[in-house]
Structures are given as C-alpha cells and as structure tokens.
Amino acid sequence: MSHIAHIELDDANLPPPTPEIEQERRVAMFDLMEHNSFVLPQRDDRIVPSGPYNVGLSIREKRLVFDVVTEAHEKAAEFHLSLSPFRQVVKDYFQICKSYFEAVKNLPPSQIETIDMARRGIHNEGARVLQERLEGKVTIDDDTARRLFTLVCVLHFGG
C-alpha cells in the first residue's frame, strides 16, 4: 500500500508554537508515521511513481502546499489548495482546543469529556474538508486525514 514514509513541515517562518500546539504536532506526526494511507491516483496517461512518499507540507502565498516525492527523491506530485475552506474549521478547532486545555486544569471529568467530544467532532469536520479538497489528487483514509488536518492547523497557527 502507498503511504507517507516521511513528512516535513515548513514552519521556519512561523512564530514558536505553544507547548500545547507542539504536543499536538508531535502526536500527529508520530501517529501518521505509525500508520497512514496515501495513494496517488493514475492521472491522464502519466505514470505515477509508486510510494512510499516523502511529503513536504507548507503554506505558500496563502495556499496549502503538498510537495510529494518518492524516497528516491523523484517528483511524484504537488498540490496547491486554497486555505479559504479551512479557515472557519481551523478557527473553531483552535477555540475548542483552548477551552479543552483550560478545562483539563479546572473542570470535572464529565465536563472535560463533553468538550473533548466537541473537539473531536470539529477535528473530524476538518479531516472531511481536507479529504474533499484532496479528492482526485490523492486518496487518504480517515485517520490519515485527521492527522494531516492537525498538521494543517499547526501551520495555520502562525499564518
């Protein structure tokens, strides 16, 4: 199965992340490397290099950029996605995460669980938007979409 063997975030021009954002990033990257599905479809009559792939993820000129190369550093694909469809869900996700991190410090488990369920729902919505935006470019499973959405949020944090 095709998959991501390595992912790199271009966050050089972003402000330093908060400890919570850095933790989200570490967990998403670890989970992504443990298991993911990333399949480039056949397009036109061009041969698609087979995976595994190394993926660079960045924001350039207000666009989300996926730079995909093979492990042998052969260019496999590059996608540029508008950030507009992500703006609201990323904003909502950061708001609910902030509430969650505050709740963990002060609230009883039942209230934390309620906020966490809302956080997961917004996260799933972001993953769905990402899958829709990538349709026809790459096929990813739900777990891969969730982890990639987390990394999109990390990049959005500074942008």
Cα separation, 86 vs 130, in Å, equals 8
Are the CB atoms for 37 and 51 separated by under 8 Å? no
Strands 75-82, 63-70: parallel, antiparallel or unpaired by DSSP? antiparallel
- pLDDT confidence band for 19 (50 / 70 / 90): confident
Spans of all domains in the chain: 4-156
Q: What is the pLDDT of residues 68-78, one digit of tens each?
A: 999 999 999 99
Q: Rounded to whole angstroms, how far apart are CA atoms 83 and 51?
A: 26
Asked if residue 14 has pLDDT above 80, the reply is no
State pLDDT tens for residues 36-61: 999 998 877 777 888 899 999 999 88
Answer whether residue 157 shows pLDDT above 70: no
Q: Are 91 and 63 spatial neighbours (Cβ–Cβ below 8 Å)?
A: no
What is this structure's pTM?
0.89
